[in-house]
Structure 1
Amino acid sequence: MVGTMVGRAIAGKRASGMKLTLRDYLLDQARLILFWLVGICLLLALFCLYITSRHVNYSLAILLYGAGLGLFPLVLHLGIDYWQRRPFYLAVNARLDGERVLEEALTLDDARTREQRALQDLLHAYYYSYEKELRGLEEQRKFTELFVNRFAHQMKTPLTVIQLLEGELQGEGQPGIAASLQEERNRLDQSINMMLQTARLHEFSLDSRMETVELLALLRGIINEHKTEWIRYRLFPKIECDREEVFVRTDLKWFGFLCDQIVRNALQYGSKTAEGQRVPGSFWLRVRDGEDAVEVQFQDFGIGIPAEDVRYVFQPFYTGRNGRTHSRATGMGLYLVKTAAQRLGHTVELHSVEGEGTTVTLRLAKSGYYEVARNMTTL
């Protein structure tokens, strides 16, 4: 993928007017032409001085004839040299028009001069060195991904044990400690899931399956998964839709993940505080089934996002001003939402006013599902 990107960049630069042409060749030979012309002029000047000293009459036609004879070898040399180099120029230009410039450069077989053959050898040496380095980076990436996946899965067992301990604490009459333990466990579980999903983004095409999903049932399930948090944060979720069922074409797991990330953000920032206490609020989840697309709107009325931070919220690890006041922010949630939505062929928009709340809108187009396959192949 990196090679293709580099190749496209090179091709784009060449396509902007830097292809090899006859004009380029003549510019490269400008010094030779200039020296040759100066030599002819000096020779003609010497001839004129010699003839004048001998008091011999001569005409301009003779001088022009002599200059023409002097230029003939130069023109002949340039014509033969360009004819020899032209096939290589044409081959280079043809490959600059391609998408995989580095790979296609290896197929250059029209080198005629020593300089061209040296350039060909340099391209081969560069490509094989680049390919070796790329293989090493790919192996390192796979090792890191394998380590992250194994670590995340190993952490699932301690989380299950902690959940059992919560039940024991509840039974022993310590609901406060159990609630705090549950909150921390949920945060740890969220972080581990985010780690797994981030690692899986590299293999998105292998870890996704498009299917027909009943949207309202999916959203209700996500809301119910956080019923304890809704009560703790004093938020009241409401789903609004003018239909009983809405079907969309998406990947159930990935779409559920990105909806869950938006809901978790609403739980964290969706309620205002007054003197350190949560103020009761509402969270609206609106579904609109249009002719061209289905829109899912997540709206909270919490602290909102400062205007200077809105444009950066989809950047990885960007936490903004709210992140400095909420130390648990990672800056990865909305980045994963944006990335997963794009690779599913959906769009995501965010509108926020500080102190008034935030609205995130997911748009699932009913046409153009072929875009998903194209998005997957460009990862």
Structure 2
Amino acid sequence: MKLTDYLKDRLTAYLIYGISWLLVQIFMAAFRISFQAIVIVSLILLLSIIFAEVWGYFRKKSYYDKLLHCLDELDKKYLLSEMTENPDFLDGRILYEVMQETNKSMCEHIAGHRRENKEFREYIELWVHEIKLPVASVQLMCHNDGNTKYAEQLKRIDNYIENVLYYARSRNAEKDYIIKPVSLKRAFADIAVKNREELQERNITLHTEDLDMDVMTDGKWLGFILGQIMGNSMKYEASEITVTAEGFPDKTVLHFRDNGCGIPEHDMPYIFEKSFTGENGRTHRKSTGMGLYIVKKLCDKLGHSVAAKSVQREFTEIIITFGKNDIHDVR
């Protein structure tokens, strides 16, 4: 709190003091009080006002400077009321009580939204599990009847359902993950088997190299991530997919590369943003712009990093980096 700001705020009070002092002078002169007495009384009043103002200024300055410092230092500004002490002057105590009440109201409001969000997420997860049963049944019937036309559409529905499930789970990752060593070779093989029929229909060739290593991650989430990346490769006209891994002392880097249509350079900064489809998305109507967004979200929650490289009409490469022996906070 600056002294000039404090003085400006107190101008009205000083004007009242000045008028009062002038009236006192007139009153004492009317009663023929000696000049020396008038000077002494004036000095006493002036010194009293100066002392009171200086004391009040420094008392409030200490409190408000600390308050503003805490506000600047805090990343989460709404915690300010928790870091503030109850001051010893009236307007500060009023401010403190107001902050405490607003903080309490905010906490209750947030708690209500969290309950609603939790209930909605639980409903979505239940709905996903329920809807997957009839979808799987119809897929089996189509497979038995040899009806590939409907089977392809059902697979798309199943993929969209998976997206909904993992998007909902990614918002509360700490309740649905198990970090343990996972074989990259096994994880990729499971995804390849799951997509075998579509890979064969599209005549896509798979190449793998140096996948005989484990990474610290959640196997189920990694499977979804690899499935999304492979789905994009199939969607965007790839005829060859190459997956390789590099081991370093402090990390493992997985490279997922295809020779599809590639991503335009001007779209590259936005491919991990929510609902971004870009130029390829407008060409391929099946694109929702959510796949890579969810991949990025899950990688962030698990403590992995994900990046992409691409040259249009040549290749697209997704790079996932797994740390070694790291404990990640996914909250």
Instruction: State if a TM-score over 0.5 links the two structures.
Output: yes
CA distance in 1, matches of 2:266, 2:189: 33
Q: Given the two structures, how large is their TM-score scaled by the length of structure 1? A: 0.74
Q: 2:174 aligns with which of 205, 214, 220?
A: 205
| 1:306-321 mapped onto 2 (5 Å cutoff) | 306-321=264-279
- 1:67-125 CA-to-partner distances (Å, cap 9, x unmatched) read 97774233112123235535644663575455665455257553333322322232133
Which position in structure 1 is the counterpart of 2:90?
A: 114
* Contact preservation (8 Å) 1:87, 1:110: no
Partner of 2:232: 265
| Cα deviation digits, residues 189-232 of structure 1 (max 9, x gap) | 11111111011112201111111112112212212221111111
Counterparts of 1:1-379 in structure 2, within 5 Å, are 20=1, 25-26=6-7, 28-29=9-10, 32=13, 35=15, 71-82=46-57, 84-85=59-60, 88-89=63-64, 92=67, 95-96=70-71, 97=73, 102-103=78-79, 105=81, 108=84, 110-170=86-146, 178-241=147-210, 245-271=212-238, 281-367=239-325, 369-370=326-327, 372=328, 374=329, 376-377=330-331
Residue 216 of structure 1 contacts residue 246 of structure 1 at CA under 8 Å; is this kept in 2? yes
By how many angstroms is 1:365 displaced?
2.3
Bigger mean CA offset, 101-110 vs 348-357: 101-110
User: For structure 1, which runs of at least 5 residues remain unmatched after alignment?
Assistant: 1-19, 48-63, 171-177, 272-280
CA distance in 2, matches of 1:138, 1:236: 46
- 1:146-193 Cα offsets, whole Å, 9 max, x none, are 2211211111121122123113312xxxxxxx1112211111111111
Matched to 1:314, the amino acid is F
AA of the residue aligned to 1:129: S
Q: Which amino acid aligns with 1:85?
A: K
Q: TM-score scaled by structure 2?
A: 0.84
Identical-residue share of aligned pairs (%): 25
Kept in 1: contact 2:306–2:321 (CA 8 A): yes
Asked if structure 1 preserves the Cα contact closer than 8 Å seen for 2:187 and 2:222, the reply is no
Worse overlay, 337-346 or 283-292: 283-292
SS of structure 2 residue aligned to 1:212: strand
Question: 8 Å contact 1:95–1:105 — kept in the other structure?
Answer: no
Q: Kindly provide the amino acid, as one letter, of the partner of residue 268 in structure 1.
A: K
Measure the CA separation in 2 of the matches of 1:135 and 1:270: 47
Counterparts of 1:342 and 1:240, CA distance in 2: 25
- Which whole-Å deviations, capped at 9, do the CAs of 1:339-371 have from their partners, x for residues lacking one? 11122121111111221121111111225x12x
1:163/1:182 contact within 8 Å kept: yes
| C-alpha distance in 1 between matches for 2:83 and 2:235 | 57
Q: Give the 3 Å change call, closer, same or farther, for CA 106–345 of structure 1 in structure 2.
A: closer
Q: Deviations over 1:7-64 (max 9, x none)?
A: xxxxxxxxxxxxx46676456446656x489879x97xx99xxxxxxxxxxxxxxxx9
Q: What amino acid is the match of 1:325?
A: T
SS at match of 1:311: helix
| Change in CA separation of 1:235 and 1:28 when aligned onto 2, cut-off 3 Å | same
Take 1:142 and 1:202, find their aligned partners in 2: how far apart are those partners? 10
Pair 98,318 (structure 1): closer, same or farther in 2 beyond 3 Å: closer
| Number of equivalenced pairs | 321
1:284-312 Cα deviation digits (max 9, x unpaired): 11122233321111111111112221111
For 1:5, the equivalent position in structure 2 comes to none
Query: How well do the aligned residues superpose, as a CA RMSD in angstroms?
Result: 3.4
CA distance in 2, matches of 1:83, 1:110: 16
8 Å contact from structure 1 (residues 349, 361) kept in 2: yes
